[in-house]
Amino acid sequence: MTDKHVYLFSEGNSSMSSLLGRKGANLAEMYTLGLPVPFGFTVCTEACRTFYKDGKKINSFIEKQIDDALITLEEQTGKEFGHAKNPLLVSVRSGSPISMPGMMDTILNLGLNDITVEGLAQKTGNPRFAFDSYRRFIQMFSDIVLQIDHYQFESELEQMKAKAGVSKDSDLSAMHLYELVRAYKKIVKKEIKDEFPQDPKVQLMLATGAVFESWNNQRAVLYRRINRIEMDHGTAVNIQAMVFGNMGDDSGTGVAFTRNPNTGDNELFGEFLMNAQGEDVVAGIRTPQPLCELKRLMPDTYHQFKLLARNLETHYRAVQDIEFTIEQGNLFLLQTRTAKVTPEASIKIAVDMAQEEFITQDEALMRVDPHSLHSMLHETLDSTVEVEVLAVGLPASPGAAAGIIVFDSEEAERLQRTGHEVILLRRETSPDDIHGMVASVGILTSQGGMTSHAAVVARDMSKPCIVGCETMQINESRQEVTFGETILKAGDTITLDGSTGRVILGRAPLVAPTFSQEFTTMLYWAKRRKQMEVLGSVNTPKEAIQAKSLGAEGIGLCRTEFMFMDPVRVPIVQEMILSQNKWERKKALDKLLPMQKSDFLEMFRIMDGKDVIIRLLDPPLHEFLPSAETLSIEIERAKVNKNFDEVQEKEKLLRRVKALHELNPSFGHRGCRLGITYPEIYEMQVTAIAEAALELKHEGIRIHPNIIVPLVSHANEMKLVREQVEETLKHVFEVYKDEIQIPIGAFIELPRACITANQIARYADFMTFGCNDLTQTTYGFSRDDAEGKYLAYYIDHKILPDNPFTVIDQEGVGGLIRFGTENGRKNKPQLRVGVTGVPSSEKKSVRFFHGIGLDYLSCVPHLVPIAIVSAAQAAILAEETKAVKKDQVKSTV
Ligand code: ADP
Ligand code: MG
Ligand code: MG
């Protein structure tokens, strides 16, 4: 084997991180830039893989390369490894291609032994420092290489401090430290039945092997699993000359961020410790001092550092997280990497940097992770209003929500479908509760911690959640819950404050989230940059206001069923459903007409001048009726009470419920099938839309109503409904002696509709793909069952790459959308096409939708900003890809 496995810092750069690891690549880059970095070399990741292949041994070829590099290092530093008077000491540091902070091991001061420690003491005239370094080395080496529990060393250190009567380890004298070293070596001898290894070369090879092995230590493996990092990269090992922060009060070590990682403020931010080494700062043995103290203590060094930090940020064009050490007033940089910052800070930093003309606006937009915006988009509790707190649990997922109490997931779902906002109360949740959690606005459990099922899933769904609320007692059989003295029943209202863990009695007032100036700027840039329109999917005028305030350019989907579920209207809706004939049905519908019209008036006013796409009634009628079980119980009770009128009435209802019963309601008598067989329903809705529109037009308000027909499968359905709608419109126009353009579109959520989109498009002015139903009908998955039962298994076992209800399945469902779009535009090139559902705001999916040429995305209000940013990123990326392709073409010509 002749392959190069060892690279001097002078031979690498930051683009070589898959070979040298992040840390090694950046050390090499900094060294080459001429920054004060102690010299060293990197044993590459390939060597780590070879190490494992060879049965956890460093082979002689690699060892030879390490020896050679060591000679160069000796020459560079003018010191010699293992020399009795002038010893070279090194650090042995792990560093993988993807940074895993603190997951793997580092050994400092390697090269010390009983002889070199004396040489170091003499050469520096500082025996305290020499023995401090030695005791640190023995402890780290024993822990990492010899696998001796560090607790033993720590307790020895504590005893020594007690004996010396000091509280800080930096106050121990040379004598104390000398004794400590002796005690440490005794521990080693007891544990390994041998002396602490004295030969520096042996120490180095053992340490290198141990760092390779730390790639597979438990916490590193777990970290990679959680962060979905590939398991087989391996780590590089950096061997670097030591510099010393523990040489006295003119020395120290610290960590700094070039900007504040919490707020994003443009200020140097960090901590340091005087007379300390390595990770003393993070280990919490002494309280570190803020960097501004360094400015006071060592102004020159501070200013030098500030300048270097600024240069590094400029060089990498990103906020840096820097490790530094000061040795007797001399500054050294030991690491730099792109800093991890909060979502809020990352937006501020990106916008600031673009305004400083440090990066472009496009780059700033690309640096925002759309998903990370979730936490900023929640409603919060109005802090100016006093509330009655029932209990306090663990704040597992932020945001606030108010709703009625339910105790099981089926009930949560049923109530949600009938237009209620519910809060699910459980002892704890399990995968069987997913559909209930989906249906709830908030989740509250009495057990479990911040990583319990409820907490993790709620955070993923970005719903407010409180867990471990131990003072809450649920009594399911009585459908009651107690919080101390207070007893609440199913159906009572509470409010959760997921940001503080407070459970509040009643409906506490919520306020919309407030956005920083940078957030608003970023959103404004994204809006200008994107090409697809971003619209809101809403059920109520309140949601329309919310969507608009978050940047929606119109309403892409206004579901009318929720308007039917208003408690005042439900009896009239039921009257309509129970009608024996068309005439009776019309009578009920006539009562609904003004109500429906008032909804549209409000909606159009709010969306002044913007598109509003209204979907005609979609769900099967039985959703507006009580369940057969509930009715049967009520009938029995009425019989007992001899309430015969009620019995009769309820029995009639029950007969109708049974008649409407469907084996599979999702494939049932719903959507346009309903509108075709009961044309009066759509007639009423279309009349309400047209009258509302014309009345507002008369007031001088600009309105853009659109009508969309749900669940179209065959062009004939579309043709028929279109004729009906047009006839109704014509009638209203005649009455009002005025007209308005109302485009009529098709809601495409069945594979057949995708395949025959060109036929359907003959009768449709636009098309919206409904991702949710289209995914259900393409896969034959029922979403709630799938998410509650087998989908998690599928994803864990990589049978599916993602949840297709969240991330569009590009080949299958996406393939149908692509085909449907192209096919639909075959004879109508200008056909407007859009998409609704969860994927319409998910970044990967949005990129796909942009790529296939969709015109609009429609998503729930609080995801609108996420969709806007995703759409901007999709536009930027598409342009970049195009530019690259053009370049390639040029270079091949
Ligand atoms: P981690 O990956 O856990 O951050 P590092 O390899 O960065 O581990 O090492 C931790 C700390 O050890 C560094 O922040 C630095 O303070 C110290 N250190 C590492 N190498 C040296 C060195 N050559 N000289 C002085 N201190 C060092
Ligand atoms: Mg560490
Ligand atoms: Mg580090």
Rounded to whole angstroms, how far apart are CA atoms 612 and 378? 24
Q: Tell which atom from ligand 1 comes closest to the C-alpha of 90.
A: 23
Q: Which residue has 């579920």 as its token pair?
A: 565
Q: What is the bridge-based pairing of β-strands 502-505 and 87-88?
A: unpaired
Q: What is the bridge-based pairing of β-strands 236-241 and 40-43?
A: antiparallel
- How many other C-beta atoms lie within 10 A of the C-beta of residue 273? 23
Rounded to whole angstroms, how far apart are CA atoms 745 and 409? 35
- Give the H/E segment covering residue 523: helix 517-529
Rounded to whole angstroms, how far apart are CA atoms 121 and 118? 5
- Give the H/E segment covering residue 241: strand 236-241
Answer with the residue of higher pLDDT: 513 or 386.
386
What is the edge-to-edge ordering of all strands in the sheet holding 320-327?
A: 289-290, 269-274, 252-257, 320-327, 330-338
* Minimum CA distance residue for ligand 1 atom 10: 278
- What pLDDT, on the 0 to 100 scale, is given for residue 433? 85
| Tokens of residue 471, six digits | 């003072």
* Minimum CA distance residue for ligand 1 atom 15: 278
| Domain 379-511 superfamily per CATH | Phosphohistidine domain (3.50.30.10)
Q: Is 712 helix (H, G, I), strand (E, B) or coil?
A: coil
Best substitution site from 136, 279, 285, 328 to test ligand 1's pocket, by max atoms within 8 Å of Cβ? Answer: 279
Q: Which residue has 């909060």 as its token pair?
A: 342
Phi/psi of residue 552, nearest 5 degrees: -65, 140
Question: Are 443 and 424 in contact, with CB atoms under 8 Å apart?
Answer: yes
**Which residue ranges does the chain devote to CATH 3.20.20.60?**
532-621+668-861
Best substitution site from 325, 330, 333, 337 to test ligand 1's pocket, by max atoms within 8 Å of Cβ? Answer: 325
Q: Does residue 106's CB lie within 6 angstroms of at least one atom of ligand 1?
A: yes
Kindly report, residue by residue over 660-695, the tens digit of the pLDDT.
Answer: 888 887 788 999 999 999 999 999 999 999 999 999
Q: Which CATH class is domain 243-341?
A: alpha beta
Q: What is the average pLDDT across 380-386?
A: 86
Q: Does residue 102's CB lie within 6 angstroms of at least one atom of ligand 1?
A: yes
| Tokens of residue 835, six digits | 């998409």
CA distances from 832 to 114, 526, 765, 868 (A): 80, 22, 7, 19
Strands (E), 242-341: 252-257, 269-274, 289-290, 320-327, 330-338
CA of 412 to the centre of ligand 3 (A): 48
Question: Are 92 and 237 in contact, with CB atoms under 8 Å apart?
Answer: yes
Question: Are 271 and 288 in contact, with CB atoms under 8 Å apart?
Answer: yes
pLDDT band at 893 (very low <50, low <70, confident <90, very high): low
Q: What is the largest CA-CA distance in the chain?
A: 109
Q: Does domain 532-621+668-861 have CATH number 3.90.1170.50?
A: no
Question: Are 48 and 215 in contact, with CB atoms under 8 Å apart?
Answer: yes
Q: Among residues of the chain, what percentage have pLDDT more than 70?
A: 98
pTM: 0.81
CA neighbor of 96 nearest in space, from 39, 167, 43, 29? 43
- What pLDDT, on the 0 to 100 scale, is given for residue 399? 85
CB burial of 370-400 (b: ≥16 within 10 Å; e: otherwise) equals beebbbbbbbbbeeeeebeebbbbbbbbbbb
Kindly report, residue by residue over 599-656, the tens digit of the pLDDT.
Answer: 999 999 999 989 999 999 998 888 888 888 888 988 999 999 999 999 998 898 898 8
pLDDT band at 892 (very low <50, low <70, confident <90, very high): low
CA of 103 to the centre of ligand 2 (A): 7
Rounded to whole angstroms, how far apart are CA atoms 30 and 23? 10
**Residue 58: CB partners within 8 Å, gap ≥ 6?**
47, 51, 66, 205, 208, 209, 212
**Residue 853: CB partners within 8 Å, gap ≥ 6?**
821, 833
Q: Does residue 804's CB lie within 6 angstroms of at least one atom of ligand 1?
A: no
CA distances from 866 to 243, 370, 541 (A): 47, 5, 21
- What pLDDT, on the 0 to 100 scale, is given for residue 285? 64
Ligand index nearest the alpha carbon of residue 324? 1
Ligand index nearest the alpha carbon of residue 99? 1
Quick one: three-class SS letters along 191-220? HHCCCCCCCHHHHHHHHHHHHHHHCCCHHH
pLDDT at 524 over 50: yes
Q: Does residue 93's CB lie within 6 angstroms of at least one atom of ligand 1?
A: yes
Q: What is the average pLDDT across 234-248?
A: 95
* Minimum CA distance residue for ligand 1 atom 1: 102
Distance of CA 357 to the CA centre of its chain: 28
**Which residue ranges does the chain devote to CATH 3.30.470.20?**
243-341
* Class of residue 466 by CB neighbours under 10 A (exposed 0-12, middle 13-18, buried 19+): buried
Cross-strand pairs, 335: 323
CA neighbor of 764 nearest in space, from 810, 811, 729, 726? 726
- What pLDDT, on the 0 to 100 scale, is given for residue 451? 66
pLDDT at 483 over 90: yes
pLDDT band at 1 (very low <50, low <70, confident <90, very high): very low
Ligand index nearest the alpha carbon of residue 242? 1
| Tokens of residue 172, six digits | 């121990």
Q: Does residue 335's CB lie within 6 angstroms of at least one atom of ligand 1?
A: yes
Q: Among residues of the chain, what percentage have pLDDT more than 90?
A: 72
| Tokens of residue 651, six digits | 């029995």
Q: Does residue 749's CB lie within 6 angstroms of at least one atom of ligand 1?
A: no
Ligand index nearest the alpha carbon of residue 100? 1
